[in-house]
Every structure is written in C-alpha cells, then in structure tokens.
Structure 1
Amino acid sequence: MADNGFLGTYTPRMDDKGRITLPAKYRDDFAGGVMLTKGQDRCLYVFTPEGFGTFAHSAINAEVTDERARGYQRYMLANTDQQHPDGQGRITVPARMRQYAQLDKDVVITGIGLRMEIWDAAEWADYEARQEAAYANPERGTLNPL
C-alpha cells in the first residue's frame, strides 16, 4: 500500500459466481489475504489483515460489560470473511454480503485510505452525487473537512 493508502475508483464487473477482481495496482498489498466485512452505508469494506487489525482493534478489545460495544463487536466480526485472492486477483463476495450491499454485476471499488470499499455502481453514483455539492462548496455543504 502506498504511503497515502488505498486511493482511486475502479469499476470491475462481478461475475456470476460473485467474484470481483481487485485493482491490479494493489494486488501485492492483498497477497497476504483480504478481510471483507459489511461496512456502513450498505457497502463492503476490504482490508489487508493488518489494516483490519487496526480498524477492528477497539471493537475486538471492547469491554464485554458494554452492551452497545458487544452488539457492534458481534455484528462486525460475525460478518467478516477472510480470503486469499486467486491467481487472477479475484475474491468471492459471499451471498449474504452481496445481498447486504445490493451488489449486481456493475460494482465500484473505491480507495479510502486504510481500506477499499465495494459498492453497487448505481448506489455509488447516487452517493457521490449527494456528496459533490458539499465537497465543491464546503461553506454551503454538510461535509466536515476534518
């Protein structure tokens, strides 16, 4: 992974077996495995095992006496799948994850720093359109530039 993490937008097609080809630019980063989990906004998160460890650290180590933390921990970890890309750089998106993210043949993979996200192409187009005005005119929009 580059110093800036995962970046860019890619438009592979999902085949009939639910396989998606990861961007060639980042295949070496995923040679050690892929952690695929349900993300917010009905997309899927794609991490390297190390990236997933960083992302999930607080959930994995949450106090078992905290009901909200337990619920988040259970849902996230129960809906995570570890895989190794095949020789062509493809991963298989399990049916339950395809259903959650409403994935069909046309998908978008976006680089979001520590992770990549897999979106249904139409959902991504809608999401991006909603964000564009706020990004282009931050004083009038709702995006927080951190």
Structure 2
Amino acid sequence: MLIGEYRHTVDDKGRLFVPARLRDELGEPLVMTRGLDQCLFVFPPAEWRNLEAKLRALPLAQSSARAFVRMLLSGACECVPDKQGRILLPQTLREYAGIDREAVLIGVGNRMEIWSAERWTRYVEEASEAYSRIAEQIVDLGI
C-alpha cells in the first residue's frame, strides 16, 4: 500500500526523486497522468490496467464520460525511474499541476499523487478544517 508524504525538488531537467519506499510499491513501468484537484496521479501497472478496464466500460454516448477519459488518457505517460530513482515529469503535466521546483509526493493507497508544494499546503489547510466532519459523512471506520 502506498502511504506517506515526501518533499523533494524538481531538478532543471524536470526530474523528480521518488523515494525507494514508493518506488518499490509502484513497480515498473509506472503510469503518470493528470489527476483530480490539480495534482498528478501515478499508478502501478496493475492498478493502471484496472483503471483502463473501467474506462473502457464507460458509456461512449455520455459526453462527461468522454471528457473524463480524454483528460485522463491524453495526459498519460509511462515512466521508469532512472538509476538515481528519478522520474521525468513532462512539461505539460508540470504545468497542469503547477509544479515548479518544490513537489510533494503522497501515497494514497493504490496510487501516488504528486502536488506542487504550495497547492498541497493549501489543500491540507483547507481539508484539515473539515477532516472530522468528512469522516462522519463518508464511513464509519470503527476507530
């Protein structure tokens, strides 16, 4: 399971170090694409295949389904970390996520997300205020 929060700097060539703990869980090749909330989603191969199957099952006649599939798949690329554990963040995806130099990588169960440090800080501040209320609304975790 992908968990944790890690802060790293994007180098001048657009490469980002992925901690070994996340790399080991992600496997290769990982698939990166536009995520929701203006972050990037990074999937292990098996999770990506599961998602692809679900996308193929969406109704072609529904415009919102077509739009979602277009956004997700048109931004997708396969990545293999280099020997130093870095992945290349394509310019188009960096622009989408607003990632310049400082990035935050978070594990969220079945995927990793990559956020601009500024957007992640803002997201955490806003989400923290509603954290307990949201938990009550979505599920009884039994904790």
Give the TM-score taking structure 1 as reference length: 0.87
Q: How does 1:1-146 map to 2 (within 5 A)?
A: 5-135=1-131, 138=132, 141-142=133-134, 144-146=137-139
Shift of 1:58: 1.6
Please, which moves more after superposition, 43-52 or 69-78?
69-78
Q: Alignment partner of 2:107: what SS?
A: strand
Judging by fraction of residues, say which structure has more strand.
Answer: 2
Shift of 1:65: 2.3
Q: Alignment partner of 2:52: what SS?
A: helix
Q: Percent identity?
A: 34
Q: Alignment partner of 2:37: what SS?
A: helix
Please, which moves more after superposition, 61-70 or 35-44?
61-70
Q: Alignment partner of 2:3: what SS?
A: coil
Q: Alignment partner of 1:17: what SS?
A: coil
Q: In structure 1, list runs of 5 or more residues that go unmatched.
A: none
Q: Alignment partner of 1:88: what SS?
A: coil
Instruction: Spell out structure 1 runs of 4+ moving beyond 4 A.
Output: none
Q: Is the 8 A contact 1:35 1:81 kept in 2?
A: yes
User: C-alpha distance in 2, partners of 1:65/1:134?
Assistant: 36
- Structure 2 CA distance for partners of 1:25 and 1:142, relative to 1, 3 Å: closer
Q: Alignment partner of 1:11: what SS?
A: strand
